[in-house]
Chain A
Amino acid sequence: MSLQILNARLLDPATGSDAIGGVFIDKGVIKEFRTGTGVSFKDAKETIDAGGLCLAPGLIDLRAKTGEPGEEHKETLATASRAALSGGITSLVVMPDTRPVIDDVALVQFIAERGRETAFARVYPAGGLTVGLAGEAMSEIGLMAEAGAVLFTNGDWPVASAQVMKRVMTYAASRGAIVMSRPDDHTLAGSGVMNAGEFAARHGLSGIPIEAEWLGAARDVVLAEQTGCTLILDQVTSQRTLDIVDVARGRGAKVFTTVAAHSLFFNELDVGDYLTYCKVNPPFRSEKARKTLIRALQEGAIDAVVSAHDPQPPEEKRLPFGEASFGAAGLETVLPCLLTLVAEGELSLLEALAPVTIGPASILGLPQGRIAKGAPADLILFDAGKPWLCDRDHLLSRSKNSPFDGRRLQGRVLRTFVGGKTVFER
């Protein structure tokens, strides 16, 4: 079944191309694309006239949590996939912190299989870096990688022991495996619940000091440099962390950085009157920090923007702020969040799209995330300026804990294709 999408604004961050044109898709891959007005292709069985709307590669999300297996009331791979596709995400890496933890071959296979059977988005399992994420014993990194795990992480519980981390990274490097770690010195972050500072102090909430991120980052990048392991520094929130990464890169460390989309949109003041939907870890930082993250995106200093999707049901959030769980639903708001920043003039369209397409594709070595001959036809058609009101009751995620609830956003996906098939239409 062949398909042509014509009269579209083709956006390909991989090549920096932004021009009207058309794409010809056959057998799930992009066979041909051409820019220029009036472009069309012979032999196409079906034609979609995009009417000038944007056509870009589908988003690749390096960090989504679901509740499958074990906490399906929060989210399943199927519900996460539905939410992802409606937000323009066509590939997602799912975190290993489930019940049980994804820390052996059978469980990696289970996730991969369930993804194929129940999800229309491409689902990639991330393996647990240590057994049970306990931070003590190394998991079967090599075997899990063979079974399809694309990266290894301890998720929300970064390995505390530097010795364990060094050994695991040394081993991972020898197997060519990618390690993802959230920079966090937990002995300093302790029982904090939001960004440390004046706002936290005034509200009587214990703080997570930014120094905890710097110390964690410093340790992880030094180990990356020493071991040669490829490291993804997960959900960075400050310029100084990026500076630490820069130094290590200069010394030859293979380090990538990610930022959670919500950290580009909110600051600590959004916690307001103890709004638990704004309780995330790493926490929303200062407005100044948020601005520096956006500048870093403009400069291309951030490799990937992630959803940090972490579905939490009401019983985990309808609690006093200090007692509520961390986490925000994010699959459906990554692209609108970025497009809103574009509408506000903070980013160009290509700057906004690069860290959710070619950026993560390059880290993982995936063929999608670009408009290129032979690439999988994972594409999204979107209206970059469409204003809409985010209402949690209309979100497709099984859990509705979105900090964007009630926010006006700009930019919305109208149609999502995976392997050339329409898997979502608004």
Chain B
Amino acid sequence: MAAAHADYTFRHDHLLGIEGLHPLDIKHVLDLSDTYADATRAGRRPDPILTGKTVVNLFFENSTRTLSSFEIAARRLGADVISMPVAQSSVKKGETLIDTAMTLNAMKPDALVIRHSASGGAKLLSRKVDCAVINAGDGTHEHPTQALLDLLTIRRTKGRIEGLKVVICGDIAHSRVARSTTMALHLMGARVHLCGPRTLIPPGTDTWGAESAGTDFDRALPGADVVMMLRLQLERMNGSLLPSQREYFRYFGLTADRLALAKDNAIVMHPGPMNRGVEIESSIADGERSVITQQVEMGVAVREAVLHLLAGGRA
């Protein structure tokens, strides 16, 4: 499939994070993702540009949706796909991330998709292997393909990203999605406002590109084009970061009344998996302004585009 700009090349060997990408890179990935999304919707199979290529999914953390999304994306492009459920395998026997990486590297894959519970895990891997590394989430650091699929979903729904007001609400401190998506939205000209309990808002969110980070969801919502809710890890209650689910929902849960504060055509997003009744009311999650399932759909398209760019061009 032809890229949108003939004079542009995607110059990255890996996709480790949004940090380090240029707005043109993001635009390019989104444009290519669009063509993949359109093809799927039209019932066309894309060109099998990854035929003969091997993609290894190395998931050190359990994941259903991201892992299957990468698997489907790679298979649609004709790649041979191996998914290593490392959470249960040799790592338990004391093998380190680097040992596992070196072992796999010796088998000459074309791309390694990695999810790891440690921030910087993908970066570490990329220093030790010869193939493309795609970060599918590293600790509380980055989750770039999630950010890209969020942007694609927004762009397809709203027709643009620049100038939109996006409110992201929830556990900002522990969210790799918040980091990546905020940075990506900022790069593309959106205005991002973060919101959550004070204990879950880290310092320095302005360096990610956020315009504000506050604790009053109701005050953040007016004028919002996009409301993105983050998953609340229920363990946070034990760590004395939050009093209770009930209180959290009272101040930060997305209800119909709250959504009414945003623009009339505001869309609702969630990276999943959702805690219904904790961060989002079921009727909103399933309502007509929710684009949550579309996010999942766009996830495959974005991953096709990323695999295309990183594994497709290599001899």
Contacts and interface: CB of A to CB of B under 8 A. Distances in A.
A322 B98 contact: no
Which of A197, A203, A273 has the most CB atoms of chain B within a 10 A radius of its CB?
Answer: A203
Contact of A204 (B124, B142, B204, B207): B142
Given A198-B207, A201-B204, A274-B124, A318 B96 contact: yes
A203 B120 contact: yes
A201 B202 contact: yes
Q: Is the interface of A mostly helix, strand, loop or mixed?
A: loop
10 contacts: A201-B203, A203-B120, A204-B119, A204-B141, A205-B140, A274-B120, A274-B124, A319-B96, A320-B124, A322-B139
A323 interface: yes
Contacts of B173: 201
A321 B204 contact: no
B96 A203 contact: no
Q: Is the interface of B mostly helix, strand, loop or mixed?
A: mixed
A202 B207 contact: yes
B204 A203 contact: no
B207 A203 contact: no
Contacts of B205: 201
A315 B97 CA distance: 11
B234 interface: no
B142 to A, nearest CB: 7
Q: Which 8 pairs between the two chains have the least Cβ-Cβ distance?
A: A198-B204, A320-B118, A204-B141, A274-B120, A201-B202, A204-B119, A204-B140, A322-B118
B44 to A, nearest CB: 38
Interface residues of B, number: 24
Nearest to B19: A202
B193 interface: no
B71 interface: no
A320 B125 CA distance: 9
B222 to A, nearest CB: 27
A320 B179 contact: no
Interface string A268-304: 0000011000000000000000000000000000000
A199 interface: yes
A68 B173 CA distance: 41
B27 to A, nearest CB: 24
A203 B207 CA distance: 11
A248 B281 CA distance: 55
B208 interface: yes
A321 B122 CA distance: 11
Contacts of B121: 320
A314 to B, nearest CB: 9
A320 B141 CA distance: 12
B97 A273 contact: no
A320 B208 CA distance: 22
Nearest to A320: B118
A201 B200 CA distance: 11
B116 interface: yes
